[in-house]
């Protein structure tokens, strides 16, 4: 696709030779107010070079650009050169790209580069609750965005399947466990045991010591501990996969913390050999005081490993195994300090690739009645949220279409209900904290997933009414773009043109909400175009142009929703 900004920069560079084309491209702005043009070039930086007032420089540049066929008009307003593009040219450029759905918004900039993305990572034998939805949905969307840009992306689920908590869980099972209850409902049963352990441990502190010894045995090859732990792991993964299937999320690797247990002695020895390991109150640490960071804890006083030990081994494995370009961790902002410590230790170990490790933080989820707490059993299961969303969607569809086919209702209810939950998670900046409210998550009005999905279905409906012959002709892009110069059509065209740049921006910032907001804008712009103009008119040339724009809008919405992991139904 022709890069309009680049083309404008070329033309300005011919008039302002003291700035490079790249510098000019960085300075060019898109005005908030459309009355100020499609693009604007501020001339402040040229004042010192030309020893003239910026408005005079802007006037000279505007006059020289005015005759260019790329522009409808060029105006000088104070120190700015405001450029109004030729609408038909822009429409032609946007349609040529957007009509090719398979490639629209995609590129090969990442070709030959591998990105490892670590996301979701629930704890074995604990609930897959609403607090996990952010890492799961954000991580999946970041994967899809980078995949669309040509990167080889490895999706890894670094399961929390190790640590003292398993000593507690095994200990609780030995005291109060029932195999039949666990097999029937693994997660809720194990959660009840885990909750009971903390209640009982307050009465009998000896239980904590028993749990520590149990984990020590697990880490050092205790047969019975390993058997129970493996059973819990297999049951948990079966439960997790049911939820992943509901959301259409897959992984390339389930590399839980336990996978790296054999590598940890080597990591500890490496830290010793490099003079980084120090003893502190019986524990082993890496002192980071010089970098204004707390010490990184490597092993406890009883010799058992900690998160940092396992994560150092994980990072080394990923570099050796995948030779990553970026190693991305989608983990809550509460862990920001920890990741600074982890990356600093990798750097001190002499790994130049430590700079390629990226923490992508996100805000926390709280319940209206307080913070989520697994220990206290105060959780909302993610599967329950998704099921409730589907049920509510089905009620709404049946209310509006009582005669609709039952099978199609079930399918659409699943796509729209689960899509609503996932879209809601990706509609605001990932760093924001929020309170989980059923009414808000399942609200289908306003700037929501169902609204965008409905717009996609509306586009599909228009195309069905237009007929296969008209759609086939419009799909070629050989249409009269003079019919697409009205305000509503042109607003939509500009948003379609910007879409590929938006996808790249979302990748650069690890921020799916940039895509979410843009496809909301596209949906709103299409609905305005739909209401303001007649699409299926008698005039064949006008109809084909407007059908082509409908196809392009449908493609943009479908591809944008796909980057969010949300389905785009043709009927609703």
Q: Please write the tens of the pLDDT for every residue from 90-102.
A: 999 999 999 999 9
Within its chain, how far is the Cα of 310 from the centroid?
Answer: 26
**Active-site option among 129, 168, 394, 518:** 129
User: What distance in Å separates the CA atoms of residue 42 and residue 155, rounded to the nearest whole number?
Assistant: 43
Q: Has 129 been annotated as catalytic?
A: yes
Q: Given pLDDT bands bounded at 50, 70 and 90, which one contains residue 273?
A: very high
Which CATH architecture fits 395-563?
Orthogonal Bundle (1.10)
Supply the pLDDT for residue 450.
92
**How much is the average pLDDT of 230-243?**
90
Residue 171 CB neighbour total at 10 angstroms: 25
Contact between residue 556 and residue 98 where contact means Cβ atoms under 8 Å apart: yes
pLDDT in tens, 142-175: 999 999 999 999 999 998 887 778 889 999 999 9
Q: Given pLDDT bands bounded at 50, 70 and 90, which one contains residue 407?
A: confident
**DSSP calls for 427-481:** SS-TT--EEE-HHHHT--SSSSHHHHHHHHHHHHHHHHHH-HHHHHHHHT--S-G
User: Is this structure's pTM higher than 0.75?
Assistant: yes
Q: How many distinct helices (H) and strands (E) make up the chain?
A: 22, 13
Burial class (CB in 10 A: 0-12, 13-18, 19+), 536: middle
Supply the pLDDT for residue 442.
65
**Active-site option among 59, 87, 126, 546:** 126
Residues 6+ apart with CB under 8 A from 352: none
pLDDT in tens, 301-319: 877 767 898 899 999 999 9
Query: Residue 212: pLDDT above 60?
Result: yes
Query: Residue 536: pLDDT above 60?
Result: yes
Residue 448 CB neighbour total at 10 angstroms: 21
Query: Residue 534: pLDDT above 70?
Result: yes
Supply the pLDDT for residue 221.
85
* 185-189 contacts at long range (C-beta below 8 A, 24 or more positions apart): 186/125, 186/232, 186/235, 186/236, 186/238, 186/239, 187/125, 187/126, 187/127, 187/128, 187/236, 187/239, 187/381, 188/127
Q: Given pLDDT bands bounded at 50, 70 and 90, which one contains residue 374?
A: low
User: What distance in Å separates the CA atoms of residue 508 and residue 444, rounded to the nearest whole number?
Assistant: 30
* Closest residue by Cα to residue 454 from 400, 416, 507, 410: 416
Contact between residue 313 and residue 267 where contact means Cβ atoms under 8 Å apart: yes
Q: At the top level of CATH, which class does the domain 4-85 belong to? A: alpha beta
Within its chain, how far is the Cα of 162 from the centroid?
Answer: 27
Q: Where do the structural domains in the chain lie, given as residue ranges?
A: 4-85, 395-563
* Closest residue by Cα to residue 148 from 103, 185, 193, 188: 103
Q: Has 132 been annotated as catalytic?
A: yes
Query: Residue 373: pLDDT above 60?
Result: no
pLDDT in tens, 462-513: 999 999 999 999 999 999 999 999 999 999 999 999 999 999 999 999 999 9
Secondary structure (3-state) at 76: strand
**How much is the average pLDDT of 327-337?**
96
Q: Given pLDDT bands bounded at 50, 70 and 90, which one contains residue 420?
A: very high
**Active-site option among 132, 456, 518, 554:** 132
Query: Residue 522: pLDDT above 90?
Result: yes
Query: Residue 118: pLDDT above 70?
Result: yes
Query: Hey, which residues does 436 pair with through a beta bridge?
Result: 367
User: What distance in Å separates the CA atoms of residue 12 and residue 10, rounded to the nearest whole number?
Assistant: 6
User: What distance in Å separates the CA atoms of residue 291 and residue 281, rounded to the nearest whole number?
Assistant: 21
Q: Given pLDDT bands bounded at 50, 70 and 90, which one contains residue 53?
A: very high
Q: Given pLDDT bands bounded at 50, 70 and 90, which one contains residue 372?
A: low
Query: Hey, which residues does 435 pair with through a beta bridge?
Result: 366
If one compares 419 and 402, the residue with the highest pLDDT of the two is: 419
Pairing of strands 357-360, 434-436: unpaired
Supply the pLDDT for residue 78.
95
């Amino acid at each position: 696709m022709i890069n309009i900004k680049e083309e404008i920069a070329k033309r300005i560079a011919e008039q302002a030779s003291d700035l490079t084309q790249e510098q000019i491209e960085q300075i060019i702005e898109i005005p908030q107010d459309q009355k100020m043009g499609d693009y604007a070039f501020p001339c402040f930086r040229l004042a010192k070079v030309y020893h003239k007032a910026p408005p005079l420089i802007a006037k000279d540049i505007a006059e020289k650009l005015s005759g260019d066929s790329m522009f409808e008009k060029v105006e000088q307003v104070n120190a700015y050169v405001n450029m109004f593009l030729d609408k038909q040219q822009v429409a032609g450029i946007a349609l040529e790209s957007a009509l090719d759905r398979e490639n629209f918004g995609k590129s090969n900039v990442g070709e030959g580069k591998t990105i490892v993305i670590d996301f979701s990572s629930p704890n074995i034998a604990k609930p897959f609750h609403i607090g996990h939805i952010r890492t799961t949905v954000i991580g999946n969307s970041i994967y899809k965005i980078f995949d669309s840009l040509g990167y080889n992306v490895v999706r890894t689920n670094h399961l929390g399947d190790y640590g003292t908590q398993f000593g507690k869980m095994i200990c609780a099972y030995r005291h109060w466990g029932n195999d039949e209850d666990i097999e029937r409902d693994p997660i809720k049963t194990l959660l009840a045991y885990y909750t009971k352990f903390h209640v009982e441990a307050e009465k009998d502190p000896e239980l904590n010591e028993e749990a520590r010894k149990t984990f020590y045995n697990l880490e050092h090859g205790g047969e019975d501990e390993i058997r129970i732990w493996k059973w819990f792991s297999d049951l948990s993964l079966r439960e997790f996969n049911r939820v992943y299937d509901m959301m259409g999320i897959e992984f390339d690797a389930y590399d839980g913390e336990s996978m790296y247990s054999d590598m940890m002695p080597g990591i500890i020895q490496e830290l010793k050999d490099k003079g980084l390991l120090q003893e502190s109150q019986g524990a082993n640490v890496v002192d980071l005081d010089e970098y204004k960071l707390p010490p990184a804890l490597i092993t406890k006083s009883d010799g058992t490993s900690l998160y940092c030990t396992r994560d150092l081994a994980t990072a080394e494995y990923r570099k050796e195994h995948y030779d990553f370009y970026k190693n991305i961790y989608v983990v809550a902002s509460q862990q920001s300090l920890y990741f600074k410590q982890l990356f600093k230790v990798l750097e001190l170990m002499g790994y130049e690739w430590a700079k390629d490790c990226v923490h992508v933080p996100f805000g926390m989820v709280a319940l209206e009645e307080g913070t989520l707490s697994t220990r206290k059993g105060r959780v909302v299961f993610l599967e329950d949220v998704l099921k409730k969303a589907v049920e509510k969607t089905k009620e709404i569809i049946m209310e509006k279409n009582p005669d609709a086919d039952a099978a199609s209702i079930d399918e659409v209810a699943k796509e729209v209900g689960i899509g609503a939950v996932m879209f809601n998670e990706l509609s605001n900046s990932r760093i924001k904290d929020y309170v989980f409210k059923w009414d808000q998550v399942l609200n289908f009005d306003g700037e929501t997933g169902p609204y965008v999905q409905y717009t996609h279905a509306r586009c599909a409906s228009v195309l069905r009414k237009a007929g296969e012959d008209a759609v086939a002709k419009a799909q070629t892009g050989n249409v009269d773009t003079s019919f697409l110069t009205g305000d509503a059509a042109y607003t939509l065209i500009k948003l379609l043109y910007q879409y590929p740049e938006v996808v790249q921006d979302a990748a650069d910032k690890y921020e799916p909400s940039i895509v979410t907001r843009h496809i909301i804008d596209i949906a709103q712009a299409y609905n305005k175009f739909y209401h303001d103009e007649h699409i299926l008119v008698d005039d064949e040339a006008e109809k084909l142009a407007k059908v082509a724009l409908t196809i392009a809008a449908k493609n943009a919405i479908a591809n944008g929703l796909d980057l969010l992991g949300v389905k785009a139904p043709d009927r609703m």
